[in-house]
Amino acid sequence: MNQTKIYGHRGAKGRYPENTLLSFQQAILQGVDGIELDVHLSKDGEVVVIHDEFLNRTTDGTGFVRACTLEEIKKFSAGSKFSSLPDYEESWILEKVPTLKEVLQLLAPYPIELNIELKTYTFEYEGIEEKTIALVNEYGNGRKVVYSSFHLPTLLRIKGIDPAASIAWLLNHVISHPLDYIKSLGLESLHLHKDMVIDNLKDWQELKTLVRVWTVNQKEELVQLMDAEVESIITDYPELAIAIRQERAVPID
Ligand code: G3P
Ligand code: MG
């Protein structure tokens, strides 16, 4: 039986402030096989790790990420907005929006995989592909990196810059002949919204090694997808997913 890998979504988003060094560190402590994060470009061209195009939801700043320099972005807290999480501590106020370089440096000692989602479907962020690959080459420590995006041209640009790069198309809608896309475009995998897979588990069986599924948080769905032996699950609760996987590994007398 192939063991499904567990990726922490934006670190361990279910318990810690998403896309912060704290969240990534905690996901690593929980024992993830990989982490997923999202990148945008700041006004001065730095690759920064944040989900939205704007600062408002996840930080105490306002405005578009691309309208602020890194120095300006770093003034804001990326932790203070998460006081409703059960484990909230005042020290979270000190969390900042990390750069991709800072995350790569944090990961350096750990042999885990990394999924970098390039958020290029709203703004194009000219040059983000080159900058991201350069940072991975310099600070990636040779780890497996999967570049994903909803915006297919971004993935094709990445492949053009680095033909050996692993690229994954993010999908939340059905496509016809998925294997044709994989082969024709040189995709390493498809990153599929969970509803696309859970409602059609049989249809994806043949492609199970080429599929990562997001964002899976319910126990029943985690079990279903582990039974289906999909390559990886991306979850806000990696601790839960890992515990379920461990339970299933225990032989029954
Ligand atoms: O990469 C999987 C997932 O993160 C895609 O959606 O909006 O959570 O970045 P989103
Ligand atoms: Mg993402």
The active-site residue out of 9, 40, 151, 191 is 9
pLDDT at 252: 61
106-126 residues labelled b (16+ CB within 10 A) or e (exposed): bbeeeebbbbbbbbbeeeebe
pLDDT at 2: 83
- Compute the distance from residue 118 Cα to the ligand 1 centre, in Å: 10
The active-site residue out of 51, 151, 177, 191 is 51
As its CATH architecture, domain 5-54+98-249 has: Alpha-Beta Barrel (3.20)
pLDDT at 1: 77
What value does the mean pLDDT of the chain take? Answer: 97
pLDDT at 142: 97
Closest residue by Cα to atom 2, ligand 1, is 214
Render pLDDT for 110-162 as a digit per residue (tens, 0 to 9). Answer: 999 999 999 999 999 999 999 999 999 999 999 999 999 999 999 999 999 99
* Structural Rg of the chain based on CA atoms: 18
Q: Which atom of ligand 1 is nearest to the CA of 38?
A: 9
User: Would you kindly state where each structural domain of the chain is located, as residue ranges?
Assistant: 5-54+98-249
Residues with CB under 6 Å of ligand 1 are 9, 36, 38, 51, 117, 148, 170, 191, 214-215, 234
